[in-house]
């Protein structure tokens, strides 16, 4: 195969890896501020993209070795030269694994995916002896355990501190913990900037290494300006596209984030990244950020951590290296077949990238629906300004007055109705009593008439039968 074509393919794939790296890691910096409503989703990705772009230009301390000593590079038994085709295979593994984890919404380390791909390719190239397992444990496995622990512990304590320090007795003016939201803008920006300075370097290093190995650039020289610019643009574009699926997992899936807690998590993330990159114990940004979010969830009272999601993420981390290694190994095996294999690799690679993308469109997750209740929750914790509070108070007062008047009127109406009802009842009672009296009187009169008649009964039975009838008109007359 034409070496120049291979170099071009590797560069294109490396830039695409940079792109996936960007959108995979937007969540590290921006998931928590978006979740708390500190920054609007679109603004957040734009800010992160700009800072990644700037960050990529700020630092060009390119890693001299892509694999950081995990693979036995150079000469000697069991060693393998990092050729463009091995890098191509490694990148393929990394890109495909990055896309799969994105589809699943799992934050996973892009560097681990890259290491995995390279390891797989190197094993195919030179056997299992090509991998420096001690370095693998030191540089990948141990940091993967340490990162979430360190960041999580820091975030746990920081969250506790943030809530303790802003706690006030009830009855006094409560601290506006929403004030932390402003802080979140700065803390998340710092994370985004750190990401740009770190991660764009990886791709710059790869491209420079390929250019050197193909003889297009003198050994030991730094990256060309166009490489820096291309990498910066690729990572910024990726960041702006935003891995919204991962944003959803980080911002909502692990725990519900409140401003003070989000601020604590981001500060812990930033501290851990800066400390690790300056004290020589390299930690993955993604793993640090995930650990911080979990730690802050544990630190805030009432915020539960969804351990199922955390478990899924951890499983993803566990699989990142071997899975990318398998893809890398298959890709490396194909490159050994020569031109045909290379064509198959590129076609299959493109097809799977396209396939994953099309599959993802079935239920697309974008800035509009990644955290759909963000706006609602933002409104729920909306902190009104003094003016708003005054107007709300005024409205409440007016409403109270109105309600009181209404109540008074209702009471009056009720009183009147009761009075009216009482009068009616009294009238009815009088009427009934009168009727009863009349009946009683009638009965008494009838009885009197009966008493007056007994002799008639003795003389003639027929007359006795007539007596009441004859008495009745007499009664009527009396009454009238």
Partner 1 sequence: MVEWIAFVQVAVVTVLAALVIVGLYGLGVRLQAVAEDEDRNRTLHRVGSWACFVVSGIVVLFGIVLIVPHLSELVGL
Is 376 near partner 1 (CB under 8 A)?
no
Is 165 near partner 1 (CB under 8 A)?
yes
Using CA atoms, how far apart are residues 404 and 452, in angstroms rounded to an integer? 71
CA angle, corner 322, sides to 117 and 140, nearest 5? 80
Among 127, 175, 338, 468, binds partner 1 (CB under 8 A): 175
Q: Which of residues 275-314 bind partner 1 (CB under 8 A)?
A: 275-276, 278-281, 283
Cβ atoms of 270 and 190 within 8 Å: the answer is yes
Residue 231 CB, shortest distance to partner 1, in Å, is 16
Among 263, 285, 290, 297, binds partner 1 (CB under 8 A): 263
Cβ atoms of 197 and 56 within 8 Å: the answer is yes
Residue 352 CB, shortest distance to partner 1, in Å, is 35
Among 64, 128, 168, 415, binds partner 1 (CB under 8 A): 168
- Residue number, 197 or 286, with CB nearest to partner 1: 197
Residue 49 CB, shortest distance to partner 1, in Å, is 17
- Residue number, 231 or 334, with CB nearest to partner 1: 231
Among 8, 74, 128, 186, binds partner 1 (CB under 8 A): 186
Residue 333 CB, shortest distance to partner 1, in Å, is 33
CB atoms within 10 A of CB 124: 22
Is 154 near partner 1 (CB under 8 A)?
yes
- Residue number, 188 or 335, with CB nearest to partner 1: 188
**Choices 80-88, 155-163, 316-324, 439-447; region in contact with partner 1 by CB under 8 A:** 155-163
Is 58 near partner 1 (CB under 8 A)?
yes
Cβ within 8 Å of residue 270, ≥6 positions away: 187, 190, 191, 194
Q: Helix axis angle, 386-452 relative to 461-479, nearest 10°? A: 140
Is 272 near partner 1 (CB under 8 A)?
yes
Cβ atoms of 475 and 449 within 8 Å: the answer is yes
Taking CA atoms, 232 is separated from 56, 197, 204, in Å, by 5, 9, 9
Is 55 near partner 1 (CB under 8 A)?
yes
Residue 390 CB, shortest distance to partner 1, in Å, is 14
Any idea which residue has 């390119």 for tokens? 62
Is 99 near partner 1 (CB under 8 A)?
no
CA angle, corner 297, sides to 294 and 302, nearest 5? 155
- Residue number, 340 or 383, with CB nearest to partner 1: 383
# chain residues binding partner 1, by CB under 8 A: 53
- Residue number, 173 or 462, with CB nearest to partner 1: 173
Six-digit token string for 410: 């209702």
Is 208 near partner 1 (CB under 8 A)?
no
Binding mask 111-140 for partner 1 (x = CB under 8 A): -----------------------x--xx--
Handedness of CA 390, 392, 395, 397 (dihedral sign): negative
Is 48 near partner 1 (CB under 8 A)?
no
- Residue number, 185 or 346, with CB nearest to partner 1: 185
Q: Which residues pair with 131 in a beta bridge?
A: 71
Is 190 near partner 1 (CB under 8 A)?
yes
**Choices 67-75, 122-130, 175-183, 412-420; region in contact with partner 1 by CB under 8 A:** 175-183
CA angle, corner 294, sides to 291 and 296, nearest 5? 105
Cβ atoms of 263 and 162 within 8 Å: the answer is yes
- Residue number, 25 or 97, with CB nearest to partner 1: 25
Which candidate, 213, 219, 217, places its Cα nearest to that of 3? 213
CA angle, corner 87, sides to 85 and 92, nearest 5? 95
Any idea which residue has 């004030």 for tokens? 179
Among 166, 352, 360, 377, binds partner 1 (CB under 8 A): 166
CA angle, corner 38, sides to 37 and 39, nearest 5? 90
Is 274 near partner 1 (CB under 8 A)?
yes
Cβ atoms of 45 and 260 within 8 Å: the answer is no
Cβ within 8 Å of residue 113, ≥6 positions away: 93, 94, 95, 97, 98, 101, 320, 321, 324
Is 358 near partner 1 (CB under 8 A)?
no
Six-digit token string for 282: 């390299």
Any idea which residue has 């038994």 for tokens? 77
- Residue number, 274 or 414, with CB nearest to partner 1: 274
Residues that bind partner 1 (CB under 8 A): 55, 58-59, 61, 134, 137-138, 142, 146, 150-151, 153-155, 157-159, 161-162, 165-166, 168, 172-177, 179-180, 183, 186-187, 190, 193-194, 197, 260, 263-264, 267-268, 270-272, 274-276, 278-281, 283
């Amino acid at each position: 195969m034409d070496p120049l074509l291979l170099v071009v393919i590797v560069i294109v794939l490396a830039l695409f890896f940079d792109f996936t790296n960007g959108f995979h890691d937007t969540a590290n910096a921006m998931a928590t501020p978006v979740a708390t409503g500190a920054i609007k989703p679109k603004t957040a990705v734009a800010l992160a993209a700009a800072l990644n772009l700037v960050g990529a230009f700020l630092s060009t301390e390119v890693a001299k070795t892509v694999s950081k000593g995990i693979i036995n590079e150079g000469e000697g038994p069991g060693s393998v030269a990092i050729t463009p085709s091995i890098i191509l295979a490694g990148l393929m593994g990394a890109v495909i694994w990055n896309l799969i984890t994105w589809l699943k919404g799992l934050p996973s380390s892009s560097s681990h995916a890259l290491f995995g791909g390279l390891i797989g390719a190197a094993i195919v190239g030179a056997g299992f002896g090509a991998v420096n397992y001690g370095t693998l444990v030191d540089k990948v496995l141990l940091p993967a355990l340490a990162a979430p622990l360190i960041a999580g512990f820091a975030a746990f304590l920081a969250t506790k501190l943030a809530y303790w320090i802003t706690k006030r007795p009830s009855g006094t003016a409560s601290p506006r913990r929403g004030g932390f939201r402003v802080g979140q803008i700065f803390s998340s920006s710092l994370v985004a900037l750190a990401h740009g300075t770190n991660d764009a370097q990886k791709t710059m290093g790869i491209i420079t290494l390929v250019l050197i190995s193909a003889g297009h650039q003198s050994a030991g020289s730094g990256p060309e300006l166009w490489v820096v610019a291309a990498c910066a643009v690729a990572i910024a574009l990726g960041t702006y596209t935003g891995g919204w699926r991962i944003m959803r997992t980080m911002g909502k899936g692990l725990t519900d984030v409140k401003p003070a807690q989000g601020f604590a998590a981001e500060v812990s993330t930033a501290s851990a990244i800066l400390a690790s990159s300056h004290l020589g114990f390299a930690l993955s940004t993604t793993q640090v950020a995930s650990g911080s979010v979990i730690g802050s969830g544990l630190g805030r009272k009432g915020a539960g951590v969804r351990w199922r999601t955390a478990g899924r993420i951890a499983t993803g981390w566990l699989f990142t290296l071997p899975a990318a290694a398998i893809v890398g190994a298959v890709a490396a095996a194909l490159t050994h077949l020569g031109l045909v294999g290379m064509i198959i690799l590129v076609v299959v690679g493109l097809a799977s990238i396209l396939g994953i993308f099309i599959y993802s469109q079935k239920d697309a997750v974008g800035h509009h629906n990644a955290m759909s209740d963000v706006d609602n929750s933002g409104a729920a914790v909306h902190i009104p300004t003094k003016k708003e509070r005054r107007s709300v108070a005024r409205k409440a007062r007016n409403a109270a007055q109105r309600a009181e008047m209404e109540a008074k009127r209702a009471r009056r109406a009720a009183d009147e109705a009761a009075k009216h009802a009482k009068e009616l009842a009294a009238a009815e009672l009088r009427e009934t009593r009168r009727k009863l009296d009349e009946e009683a009187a009638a009965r008494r009169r009838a009885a009197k008439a009966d008493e007056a008649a007994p002799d008639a009964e003795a003389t003639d039975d027929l007359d006795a039968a007539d007596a009441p009838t004859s008495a009745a008109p007499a009664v009527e007359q009396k009454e009238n």
